[in-house]
Amino acid sequence: MDKLMRNKKAIILFIAPALILFTAVLFIPVCKAVYYSLCNYKINYQPKYIGFKNYVMLFTKDKTMAIAFKNSIFFMIFSIVTQLIFGLILAALLTNIKKGRNLFKNIYYLPCVLSSAALGLLWMFVFMPRLGINQMMASLGWIEDCTMGPEWLFNTDGFIILPIWVISFVALWQYVGQSMMLYMAQISGISMDIYEASYIDGCSKKQSFFYITLPLIKPMVATAMSLNAIGSLKFFDLIYNMIPEGFLSHKADVIATHLYTQAFKFSKLGYGSAIGVILLILCLIMTVIINKFVKTESYDM
Amino acid sequence: MNNTMTISKEKRRSRIITTLIYIFLVILAIIYIVPILWVVITSLKNDSTLMLSPWAMPEHIEWGNYAFAWTKGHLGTAMLNSFIVCSITLIVSMVFGSMAAFAIARLRWKLSKLAMYYFLIGMMIPIHTILIPLFVQFSQWHLSNTLTGIIVPYITFSLPITIYIMVGFFEGIPNELFESACIDGCSVYKMFTMVALPLAKTGFMVTGLMSFVANWNELLVAMVFISNDAKKTLPVSLTKFVGPYHTNYCQMFAAIMIAIIPTIIAYVAFANQIVEGLTAGAVKG
Amino acid sequence: MKMRKILAGILSMAMTAGLLAGCGGAAPADTAAPAADTGAATEEAAAPATDGDVQEISFMIWDDLEASEDLITKGYKESVDRFNADFAGKYHCTPITTNLEEYYDKLNALVAAGDTPDVFIASPGANLNDYAMTGVAAKLDDYLDADGWKQTFTSDAVFAGGTYGDEGGDGPGIYAIPLNIAAACVFYNTEMFEDAGAAVPKTFSELLDTCQKLQDKGYTPITISAGTAWCLSMVAGYLCDRNGLNLQDIKDHKTDWKDEKVIKAGEQLQELSQYFQKTAAGDDNDVATAAFYNGEAAILIQGSWAIGQINGSCAEGFADKVGVFAFPAVDGSSADPNRVIAKSDSLCMSAATQYPDAAIQLIKYFVDDTASKYTAEIGGKIPVTSVQYDESIAPPELKYVMDVFKNASSTFGFYNESLADTEAGSTFDNCFVEIFKGEDPETALDPIEDYYEMNVWE
C-alpha cells in the first residue's frame, strides 16, 4: 500500500497538469506583471526598463489613481461593514422564523448567481433620469418632473460622490445574500443543546444571540469579511456597466476600471501592470489583516 | 392567574415581533423582485409607450424585441459560446483539479504540503494583475480572439478552489477503503477512479457549480481577449450591445432578460441545491 | 537531486507548451463558434496562393454591418457585398465587426497578435498615427499613382489627414484613403426659429441672443451630451479655434493650455451652457440627439453624419424642417471664422497583408462611383471623389452642409483626435466637461496642462 502511494510516476502524472497550467498561466504572468510594471511599455512597442517611474507617477501625479484608490477603499469598508450588519440581521431573522424561510432565503440569494454585467445594466436603467426611479418619483408627485430628481449616477459633488454611494448599495443588494448564507450555515451548525442550556439559565433570545451565536460564528465572520474585502477590491463589472465609458471624467473610477482604461484604452501596458501589482498587494494585505485580526480574537475566548 | 397573564402577554409580544419580521422580509423581497419584474415588463413594450409611462403595463406585447436582441445583438451566438466555454472549463478543471487533489491528499511525497500552499496562494491573486501579461502572451501564441484563449485562464482560476475542496473530500475517505482496494490488487490509478472519485460526488457538485456560475458571469477576461462579435460570451455581448446602441430601450431590456433567463430558470428549479452548494464552497474557500 | 529538479522544470515547461498548443488546436470551441474565425482566416492566407485559390482578406470596421441602422455603415456593407459578388472565386472579404467604443482596443489587440486585418478603418489624427508611424499601415502612393486612381478624388487636399512626412513608418507618403467627409455644423429646427423670431446667428453673442429668444418661447434651445464627452468637446474645439488657438503652438510649447484663448473658450462654453437641456450632464449622445429629432430642442451641434440619422430614422417631414449653419464667429477675435471641423473615415491597408491586390481592390470599391453616389445621396456625407450625384435625391441638409463646407477657408480635426495621443484627447474632453459643470476654467484645465507637462513637452 505504502509503496503504491509513493509511486513517483503516478505522483507526477497526477499533479503535473494542474501544476504546469497553474505555473504557466498564473505564476509566471504574475512575475511578468511585476517586470512590466517597471517598464515603459506601450502596445506594439518593446518594453523598456524604467525602474520605479510608473509607481512614482501613480502615487504622486496620477489624480485618477488617487480617486480610484479612494473609491476602492470606500467600497471595501462600506461592503465589509454593511454586509456584516445586514448579513447577520438577515441570518438571525431567517433562522428565527418558521414559515417561508427557504423562500426568502432563495429570493435574497438570487442576485448572487446572476451576471453582474446584466444587473449593472439593469440598475443603470433604473437610475436613468428619464426612465426609472425619477419617473416614478415624478408620477407619485414627489418631484416636479423627471429631470428635477437626484442625478443618481451623474452628480459629482462631495468627497464620496453620489454614484459611488448608489453603486455601493447595488453591490450590497447583490451580494448580501452570500454573507447571509455564510452566517446561516454557521448558525445552523451550532448545537441546539447550547441554546437550550442557556434558556434554562434564563437567557432571552436576544441575549443568546449576543452571548452564544455571535462568538461562535466569529471564524465565519473572518471568512465572510475577507471574501467581501477582496471581492470589493476587485470590483469591476457593476461599475463598468453602470457608468458608461468616459462619463463623469473618471471620478467614479475604481482601481480595476482605472487599470482597464490605462492598459486597454490608452494602451499603456506597463503602467497598467503597475496598477495590477498594487491591487495584488492590497488583496494580500487585506487577507492577512483580516485573518490575523479576527481569527486570533476568536481564539482568545 | 398572574402567571397566565404574563404568558399571554409574552405570546402577544412575540406574535407582534414575528409579524414585524415578516413585514420587513416581504418588503425586502419586493426590493429584490421588482427590478427584475420591471425588466420583464419593459422588454415587452415598445419605445413610444415606454417613455410616456415607464412603470405601466404593456398594451401590446412586443416579442420582436427578443428576436432583435437574439439575432442582431448576437446574444444567441453568445449564449452558445458561453455554454461551450463554461462546459469545457468545468470538465477540464474538474479532471485536473481532482487529479492534483488526489496526489496532495492521498499520495505520499515530501512536497505535497508545499504544493497545496502553492495552489492556495492562487486564490488570493486577482485576475486583473495577470491580465496584461496574459494578453501579451496569448497574442503571441495566437490565442487571443479564440474561445481557447479564455478557457485557459478560466480553468486556471477554477483550479485552486477545486483542488482545495476536493482535497477535503479525499482526506475524508476512510483509509480502510484504499487498503482493501490495494489488497484486491488495484493500481493507484484504479484507486483514483474506482474508490476516490465515486465517493467525492458532492465535492464535484460544489466545485462544478462554483466554476460554472463564476465563468458564466465573467466579464473582464472575456472582454479583453475577445474582439470578434462572433466569439463573444454572454456578458460581453450584452455589455457591448446595450452600452453603445441604447437608442431602443425596450430591445435592451429584452437583451438583459435573455442574459439572465437561463440562470433564473436553473435557479428556480434547483434553488436549494444551488444555494447550499455555493455556500458550502464559499465556507471552505 | 538538484539535477532532477532542473530536469523536472524543463519537462514541465515543455509540457506546458505542448499542452497549450494542444489546446489551441484541439479545443472544439473554435470549430463550434458559428461565424468566421480570424485565426483560421490568417492561417488560410498564409498558405501560398495557387491559381484556383480564393484570396481571403479581412476587413475591420467599428460598426456592426448587419445590425447597424446607420446609413453610412449600410453603404459600407453594400460595398463589401459588391466586392464579394464581383470577385467571387478570386477574392473574398470577411468583415470583423466591433463597435466604436472598443474599436481601437480591439484593433490594437489584433495588431499585437500579428493578426492585423488586411484592411481597416481609422480616423486621421492620433489614432491613425499609431498605425502609420509604426509600420502597421502600408504606404499607398504607388497604388494611388498606378492607374490614375488618385485623379478620381476631388483634390489632393482630401488626403491631408492620411499624409505623413519623414515620421511615416515607410517614409513620406499617403497611408490612408479617405472615404467621405463629415463636417461639424449647427443643425436647427426652422419652425422653432420662426416661432421664436430668431435669426441665424453669425457671431457668438448673436447665438446667445437666439438661444434666449428660444428659451423665452419655452423651447429647449440646445441639446447636447456632456456624458459622451466628444460631443461637448466639439463645441469646445470650435470655441478654441474661433478664439484663435493654434494646436501646433501648444504642441511646440510656444503656448500652453492656460492660454487666455482657451480660458476664454471655457468661459464662453459656460455662458452657452445655460441654454443646454437640464439633463445634459447625464444624457449620452443618443439621448441628446433624439431630443432634437423628436422636436424637443431647437439646436443640435453635430457632425454631418446626423443627416444620415435624420434621413434614416426620423418622423416623416422632419427633414424638411432642418436648417444648417456654420458655427458662429467669436466677437472681437481676429481668428478666421470660416474654419470647419471635418472628419473623414479612412481606410488603411496592413503592411503585412498577403494579398495587397485584393486589399486595394476592396478599398477601391469603397470610393468608386456607386459608393460615392450612395455616400452623398443616401448617407448625407460629403463625397471625396468627383462623382456626379443627383442633388434632388440627396437629403436637403447635405446641400446646406456642402455650402458651409465650400465656404470653409480650411478644415481642422476634432480636438480629441488631433492632440498628442488618445489619452491627451480624452483628458481634454474631460477638462471641458468639468468647465461645463461650472468649474473655473483656470483650474479645470490643470489635468491637460499636467498631461502635456509630463508626456508631451520634454
| Structural contact between residues C295 and A167, judged by C-beta atoms closer than 8 angstroms | no
Judged by CB atoms closer than 8 Å, whether chains meet at A129 and C134 is answered as: no
Residues of chain C contacting B148 with CB distance shorter than 8 Å: 23-24, 27, 29-30
Cβ neighbors of A207 (< 8 A, separation 6 or more) are A198
**Taking residues C17-24, what's their average pLDDT?**
40
Q: Per-residue pLDDT tens for B78-117?
A: 999 999 999 999 999 999 999 999 999 988 888 889 999 9
pLDDT score recorded for residue A216? 82
Which among A20, A148, A156 has CB closest to C19? A20
pLDDT score recorded for residue B250? 84
Q: Which amino acid is at C61?
A: I
Which among A24, A43, A244 has CB closest to C112? A43
pLDDT score recorded for residue A111? 94
**Taking residues C152-169, what's their average pLDDT?**
86
Q: What is the CATH number of the domain that holds A277?
A: 1.10.3720.10
DSSP string, A126-184: HT-TTTSHHHHHHHTTSSSSGGGS--TTT---SSS-HHHHHHHHHHHHHHHHHHHHHHH
Q: Which helix (H) or strand (E) holds C57?
A: strand C55-61
Hey, how many other C-beta atoms are within 10 angstroms of the C-beta on A49?
11
Q: Per-residue pLDDT tens for C92-140?
A: 999 988 877 778 888 888 888 788 999 999 988 888 888 998 889 999 9
**Taking residues C294-307, what's their average pLDDT?**
87
Which among C12, C229, C447 has CB closest to A23? C12
Hey, is the C-beta of C58 within 8 angstroms of any chain B C-beta?
no
Distance in angstroms (rounded) separating the CA atoms of residues C11 and B217: 35
pLDDT score recorded for residue B179? 87
pLDDT score recorded for residue C80? 94
Hey, is the C-beta of C20 within 8 angstroms of any chain B C-beta?
yes
Instruction: Please tell me the distance in Å from C23's CA to the nearest CA on chain B.
Output: 7
Q: Which whole-number Å values give the CA distances from C86 to B207, C59, C80, C361, in the listed order?
A: 54, 17, 10, 11
Q: Which domain holds residue A220?
A: 64-300
To probe the interface with B, which of C19, C43, C106 has the most B CB atoms within 10 Å? C106
pLDDT score recorded for residue C18? 40
- Residue C283: is its pLDDT beyond 90? no
pLDDT score recorded for residue C40? 39
Residues of chain B contacting A287 with CB distance shorter than 8 Å: 124
Hey, how many other C-beta atoms are within 10 angstroms of the C-beta on C409?
9
Distance in angstroms (rounded) separating the CA atoms of residues B182 and B177: 9
| B237-241, C28-32, C251-255, C420-424: range with lowest mean pLDDT | C28-32
Instruction: Please tell me the distance in Å from B182's CA to the nearest CA on chain A.
Output: 6
- Residue C349: is its pLDDT beyond 90? yes
- Whether A223 and A279 map to the same domain: the answer is yes
Residues of chain A contacting C12 with CB distance shorter than 8 Å: 16, 19-20, 23
| A85-89, B113-117, B281-285, C367-371: range with lowest mean pLDDT | B281-285
Judged by CB atoms closer than 8 Å, whether chains meet at A249 and C16 is answered as: no
Judged by CB atoms closer than 8 Å, whether chains meet at A26 and B279 is answered as: no
pLDDT score recorded for residue B131? 93
- Residue C38: is its pLDDT beyond 50? no
Q: What percent of chain C has pLDDT over 90?
A: 35
10 Å CB burial of residue A12 (0-12, 13-18, 19+) is middle
Residue extents of the structural domains in chain B: 2-52, 74-245
C-alpha cell at B15: 406574535
DSSP string, B50-82: HHH-TTSPPSS--THHHHHHHHTT-HHHHHHHH
Which among A97, A105, A136 has CB closest to B18? A97
Cβ neighbors of C165 (< 8 A, separation 6 or more) are C172
When the candidates are 1.10.3720.10, 1.20.1260.10, 1.10.10.60, 3.40.50.2300, the CATH number that belongs to B74-245 is 1.10.3720.10
Distance in angstroms (rounded) separating the CA atoms of residues A241 and A117: 6
Instruction: Please tell me the distance in Å from A14's CA to the nearest CA on chain B.
Output: 5
- Whether A184 and A279 map to the same domain: the answer is yes
- Residue B3: is its pLDDT beyond 80? no
- Whether A23 and A108 map to the same domain: the answer is no
Instruction: Please tell me the distance in Å from C114's CA to the nearest CA on chain B.
Output: 7
DSSP string, B199-210: HTHHHHHHHHHH
Judged by CB atoms closer than 8 Å, whether chains meet at C282 and A154 is answered as: yes
> What value does the mean pLDDT of chain C take?
83
Instruction: Please tell me the distance in Å from C43's CA to the nearest CA on chain A.
Output: 21
Residues of chain A contacting B22 with CB distance shorter than 8 Å: 97, 100
Q: Which amino acid is at B143?
A: L
Decide if A49 is inside a domain: no
CB pairs under 8 A between A and B: 273
- Whether A287 and A139 map to the same domain: the answer is yes
- Whether A24 and A96 map to the same domain: the answer is no
Decide if A43 is inside a domain: no
10 Å CB burial of residue C103 (0-12, 13-18, 19+) is buried
pLDDT score recorded for residue C406? 84
- Residue C267: is its pLDDT beyond 90? yes
The residue to which cell 483580516 is assigned: A290
Report DSSP state, residue C326: P
To probe the interface with C, which of B151, B229, B246 has the most C CB atoms within 10 Å? B229
To probe the interface with B, which of C1, C19, C64 has the most B CB atoms within 10 Å? C64
Give A215's strand partners: none
User: Which chains, if any, share at least 3 CB pairs under 8 A with chain C?
Assistant: A, B
Task: Please give the residue of chain B at the shortest CA–CA distance from A229.
Answer: B124
Q: Walk along chain A (301 residues) and give the pLDDT tens digit of each residue.
A: 677 778 888 899 999 999 999 999 999 999 999 999 999 998 777 889 999 999 998 998 888 899 999 999 999 999 999 999 999 999 989 988 888 888 999 999 999 999 999 999 999 888 887 777 887 887 787 877 766 778 788 787 888 889 999 999 999 999 999 999 989 888 887 877 888 888 888 887 778 888 888 888 887 888 888 888 989 999 899 999 888 766 777 888 999 999 999 998 888 899 999 999 999 999 999 988 887 877 644 433 3
Q: Residue C60: phi, psi to the nearest 5?
A: -110, 135
Report DSSP state, residue C368: S
pLDDT score recorded for residue C262? 94
Residues of chain C contacting A156 with CB distance shorter than 8 Å: 437
pLDDT score recorded for residue C288? 84
The residue to which cell 493507484 is assigned: B188
Residues of chain C contacting B244 with CB distance shorter than 8 Å: 99-101
- Residue B284: is its pLDDT beyond 60? yes
| pTM for this predicted structure | 0.84
Task: Please give the residue of chain C at the shortest CA–CA distance from A262.
Answer: C423
Hey, is the C-beta of C227 within 8 angstroms of any chain A C-beta?
yes
pLDDT score recorded for residue B246? 54
| B162-166, B278-282, C54-58, C195-199: range with lowest mean pLDDT | B278-282
Q: Per-residue pLDDT tens for B163-186?
A: 998 998 898 888 888 888 888 888
| Structural contact between residues A99 and B22, judged by C-beta atoms closer than 8 angstroms | no
pLDDT score recorded for residue A246? 66
The residue to which cell 456642402 is assigned: C402
Which among C20, C105, C112 has CB closest to A265? C105
Cβ neighbors of A285 (< 8 A, separation 6 or more) are none
pLDDT score recorded for residue B120? 87
Hey, how many other C-beta atoms are within 10 angstroms of the C-beta on A141?
7
Q: Among C38, C57, C46, C41, which Cα is nearest to C98's? A: C38
Residues of chain A contacting C105 with CB distance shorter than 8 Å: 264-265, 267
Instruction: Please tell me the distance in Å from B198's CA to the nearest CA on chain C.
Output: 27
| Beta strands per DSSP E along C159-289 | 163-164, 173-174, 177-178, 180-189, 220-223
Judged by CB atoms closer than 8 Å, whether chains meet at B228 and C100 is answered as: no
Residues of chain A contacting B124 with CB distance shorter than 8 Å: 230, 283-284, 287
| Structural contact between residues B155 and A56, judged by C-beta atoms closer than 8 angstroms | no
Q: What percent of chain B has pLDDT over 70?
A: 93
- Residue C45: is its pLDDT beyond 50? no
Hey, is the C-beta of C101 within 8 angstroms of any chain B C-beta?
yes
pLDDT score recorded for residue A39? 93
- Whether A195 and A256 map to the same domain: the answer is yes
Which among A8, A90, A113 has CB closest to B267? A113
Residues of chain C contacting A129 with CB distance shorter than 8 Å: 279, 282-283
**Which is more confident, A71 or B280?**
A71
Judged by CB atoms closer than 8 Å, whether chains meet at B107 and A14 is answered as: yes
Hey, is the C-beta of C40 within 8 angstroms of any chain B C-beta?
no
| Structural contact between residues C371 and C79, judged by C-beta atoms closer than 8 angstroms | yes
Hey, is the C-beta of C282 within 8 angstroms of any chain A C-beta?
yes
- Residue B257: is its pLDDT beyond 90? yes
Domains of chain C, earliest start first: 50-179+344-367 (3.40.190.10), 183-341+411-455 (3.40.190.10)
- Residue C286: is its pLDDT beyond 80? no
* H helical segments located in chain A: 2-5, 8-22, 28-36, 53-60, 63-96, 101-113, 116-126, 133-139, 162-188, 192-200, 205-208, 214-216, 218-233, 237-242, 255-260, 269-290, 296-300
**Given pLDDT bands bounded at 50, 70 and 90, which one contains residue C162?**
confident
**Which is more confident, B128 or C38?**
B128
- Whether A226 and A79 map to the same domain: the answer is yes
Cα dihedral value B159, B163, B166, B167, nearest 10? 180
Q: What percent of chain C has pLDDT over 70?
A: 88
Decide if A177 is inside a domain: yes
Distance in angstroms (rounded) separating the CA atoms of residues C412 and C421: 16
- Whether A17 and A76 map to the same domain: the answer is no
To probe the interface with C, which of A9, A265, A269 has the most C CB atoms within 10 Å? A265
| A172-176, B31-35, B255-259, C229-233: range with lowest mean pLDDT | C229-233
Residues of chain B contacting A189 with CB distance shorter than 8 Å: none
pLDDT score recorded for residue C313? 66
To probe the interface with B, which of C102, C107, C292, C310 has the most B CB atoms within 10 Å? C102
Hey, is the C-beta of C454 within 8 angstroms of any chain B C-beta?
no
Beta strand C55-61 with C119-122 is parallel
**CB hemisphere CA count around B161 (13 angstroms):** 25
- Residue C287: is its pLDDT beyond 50? yes
- The count of structural domains within chain A is 2
Instruction: Please tell me the distance in Å from C130's CA to the nearest CA on chain B.
Output: 18
